[in-house]
Chains A and B, each alone.
Chain A
Amino acid sequence: MDKAGKIRVLLVDDEGLFRDALKMALSSYPFIEVVGIAGSGVESIELARKLSPDIILMDIEMPGELNGIEAARKIQEEKPETGIIILSMHREKQYVQSLFSGKVHKWSYLLKQSVNDTGALARAIENCHAGLVVLDSSIVTGLMPDKDSPLTKLTRRQLEVLQYMAVGDNNGTIGGKLSISEKSVENYINVIYQQLGLESQNGIQPRVKAALFFLKETGVL
């Protein structure tokens, strides 16, 4: 974050038109500053070294020596605090599974098709920066746990709250979507933590653990 409290973002995509559209869309959010633009994996590594962005919006597929995932892994080797939001055309859950089965930290996954909703993109940047796992809502929406899953202990409403946590929504946004107060969301979340036996452990906050647990139990991870 810079002195003005803005989240510093690096955009990486080999398509110039798409990069320009993203930059223009993000310019209307005062808490975001696009500090650089790269057109390849190699260029993104150089710019990440030079600019130390908080968040990198990284296209998954780029021609050349390094694809988006390889470039992001290299950047995080040098700067583990950098948040990575993968932008992909692929909604198949195997992509998410493979990305999250490895040693990833501060990674999120959004579909390029969803970038249409610039508000959702800005929220994803904000939440990824806050350390949450953000997954595209169209991948997560409608997922149900297996009948033997511990998630079946949760009520339908608690499950809905957990689903929104898995897409990286904060309590205010969840409250808005479910037409309930932020305080009620907080209560739901506390019950979810109790039901699933989730506590802060090994530096992973329970919110992230709950989201990952939901994704595991619904077969995404």
Chain B
Amino acid sequence: MSEPKPGIYRTIIAHERIRKKIEGHIHGPVSTKLLLIRYAITRLKESLKAKSLAAELKELQEIESSVLEVLETHLRDICHQLYPSIIALGLSAGLRYLKSHYELNIPISLHIDEKYLRLEEDNSALLSQDDRLFIYRIADEALSNSVLHSGAKSINIDLQLKIRRLHLYLRDDGAGFRVEEKKDGPGFLAMKNYAKALRAMIDIQSSPGGGTATHLSFSLSEYLR
């Protein structure tokens, strides 16, 4: 029998469900309606082209560009911030996404243990979606801090599988900080709460001038019976 979930789990899950619901609504009915509007515009463009109505055609093309911009830029960003649906494809997909997202600012190296990749490939349900989400949120927060506040020149992400435990290491070579001064900040608390909900251990080491290292360690015993 699996261990009962800690109290914080229910609180976090309640928030995440709401975010997912809003994301689903935007990705579903809202985006679909915009796609259909675009589809109608395309048909209309064909008809205007046939009638050689150049001015109307130009106006319609501008409307189409606006629809596409909302669909492909604004809604996509909002959806991703609300809920990273890529984790449905596995934790490794989520980490690859984070690398490519933050790499626009800083070079990031990502290493994922072959043993873990094989397990994930053999079992697409390895780690529940909630557990993947919590690990993703912790990694996202750590990377966001490194990119936005540390002035780091490089970041290293390493996912390892050692003796039935998953270890996620995130290290940067940035300015660092005194841990005791930041430990009650919202970012720190969020990472700790996600770790608590996961029943994982999290350790954040940093010192001025010495960069920051975050280590998350999570038991896979529930999944590897």
Contact = CB atoms under 8 A, between A and B. Distances in A.
Interface of A: 14-15, 17-18, 21, 25, 61, 63, 67, 69-70, 73, 89-95, 97-99, 101-103, 112-113, 115-117
B200 to A, nearest CB: 23
Interface of B: 24, 27-29, 31-33, 35-36, 38-39, 42, 68, 71-72, 76, 85-86, 88-90, 92-93, 96-97, 100, 121, 124
B36 A67 contact: no
Given A61-B85, A67-B88, A90-B86, A15 B100 contact: no
A200 B121 CA distance: 26
Nearest to A18: B32
A212 to B, nearest CB: 16
Contacts of A113: 35, 38, 68, 71-72
Most A C-beta atoms less than 10 A away, residue of B29, B32, B42, B86: B32
Describe B's contact surface by its main secondary structure: helix
A98 B71 contact: no
Secondary structure call for the A interface: helix
A98 B93 contact: yes
B38 A116 contact: yes
Contacts of B100: 92-94
26 contacts: A17-B32, A21-B36, A21-B39, A61-B85, A67-B88, A69-B88, A69-B89, A69-B124, A70-B124, A90-B85, A92-B97, A94-B89, A94-B93, A94-B97, A97-B93, A98-B92, A98-B96, A99-B89, A102-B124, A103-B121, A112-B31, A112-B35, A113-B38, A115-B35, A116-B35, A116-B42
A178 B90 CA distance: 39
